[in-house]
């Protein structure tokens, strides 16, 4: 009987914790800015990377504790391939898909009108070249654009601010840095050409979410 009562109490406590958790679902939009990496060989130097482009995505989050939560997120990045050297540049249509989970650290009252947060997590980034390959490409001495794809492990860091517009409706502004190894399968260096190793994708975003 005592064990039965204890089980009931534990069940009620667990139920209370579940009810105390807040869930959040929302969408974001913004743009991506990629500085690129250095390229060098016996011919000269260049920069390889991706053009700036728009980004859209969505997320589903859970506020586990007063200052700690988590979010699973997806972003689509319109991101054309790019080679630059001097005043010349070459481009190739491309895009990227990002899927990641971030730990969210909140500062400020959980239900306050303004709340700051930091994000740290990881996932995967899929790079895709979608243009039409050609026999001749400008700046071919520094790299070749390919109509293929590459998946890279990714680190995600950033932060932002949440503004409560009305009960359960939140406006958020945030900034993310998606860090991966450079996708040499998509922009392929010629023999004897060295590329930088890490690629940063800086993504400012604005979003609307709903808490329940």
The enclosing domain of 62 has a CATH number of 2.40.160.20
Residue at 124 is within a domain: yes
Residue at 81 is within a domain: yes
The residue segments making up the domain with residue 128 are 22-211
| Whole-prediction pTM | 0.85
Please report which helix (H) or strand (E) contains residue 203, including its range.
strand 198-211
Residue at 6 is within a domain: no
Question: How many angstroms separate the CA atoms of 49 and 186, rounded?
Answer: 10
**Over the stretch 106-122, which tens digit does the pLDDT of each residue have?**
887 666 789 999 999 99
Residue at 1 is within a domain: no
Number of neighbours of residue 9 by Cβ within 10 angstroms: 10
Question: How many angstroms separate the CA atoms of 20 and 22, rounded?
Answer: 6
3-state secondary structure of 164: strand
Residue at 82 is within a domain: yes
Number of domains the chain is built from = 1
Q: Give the residue-averaged pLDDT of 24-36.
A: 96
Residue at 10 is within a domain: no
**Over the stretch 63-100, which tens digit does the pLDDT of each residue have?**
877 789 999 999 999 999 999 999 899 999 999 999 99
Cβ atoms 212, 172 nearer than 8 A: no
Closest CA to 182 of 60, 81, 74, 68: 81
Residue at 7 is within a domain: no
């Amino acid at each position: 009987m005592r064990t039965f009562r204890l089980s009931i109490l534990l069940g009620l406590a667990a139920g209370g914790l579940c009810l105390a958790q807040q869930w959040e679902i929302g969408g974001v939009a913004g743009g991506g800015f990629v500085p690129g990496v250095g390229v060098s060989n016996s011919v000269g130097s260049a920069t390889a990377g991706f053009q700036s482009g728009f980004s859209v995505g969505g997320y589903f989050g859970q506020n586990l504790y007063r200052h700690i939560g988590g979010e699973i997120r997806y972003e689509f990045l319109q991101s054309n391939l790019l080679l630059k050297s001097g005043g010349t540049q070459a481009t190739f249509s491309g895009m990227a898909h990002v899927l990641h989970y971030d730990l969210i650290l909140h500062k400020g009252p959980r239900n306050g009108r303004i709340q700051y947060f930091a994000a740290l997590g990881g996932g995967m980034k899929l790079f895709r070249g979608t243009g039409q390959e050609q026999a001749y490409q400008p700046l071919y001495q520094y790299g070749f654009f390919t109509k293929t794809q590459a998946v890279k492990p990714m680190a995600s860091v950033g932060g932002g601010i949440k503004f409560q517009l009305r009960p359960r409706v939140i406006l958020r502004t945030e900034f993310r840095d998606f860090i991966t190894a450079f996708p040499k399968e998509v922009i392929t260096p010629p023999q004897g050409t060295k590329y930088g190793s890490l690629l940063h994708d800086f993504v400012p975003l604005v979003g609307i979410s709903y808490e329940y």
